Amino acid sequence: MDTTERLAWFKSSYSGAEGGDCIELAVTPEAIHVRDSKIASGPVLRVPRHAWTGLLGLATAD
């Protein structure tokens, strides 16, 4: 199991330097990890990769 301290977190390139309402993602072979960028020590949502792929498919469907 990955600990959140060892994950390589990143924000979208669409996130501005002034902060705001952003999420951060970290990718591992098993899952996509999602957290609130303003609360780095807060809770982390862990989504299995196959579920993340399904979510993206739904988000980009016409």
Contacts of 15 (CB under 8 A, 6+ apart): 22, 37
Measured in degrees and rounded to the nearest 5, phi and psi for residue 58 equal -70, -40
Task: Give strand pairing partners of 46.
Answer: 33
Can you read off the two tokens belonging to residue 61?
């469907």
Give the per-residue pLDDT at 4: 63
Angle, vertex CA 42, rays to CA 13 and CA 33, nearest 5: 50
The answer to whether the predicted template modeling score (pTM) of the entire model surpasses 0.85 is no
Mean pLDDT by 10 residues, the chain (62 residues): 76 71 90 91 94 91 74
Hey, which bits of 1-62 come out as E strands? 10-11, 23-27, 31-36, 45-48
Q: Give pLDDT, residue 2.
A: 53
pLDDT given at position 44 = 95
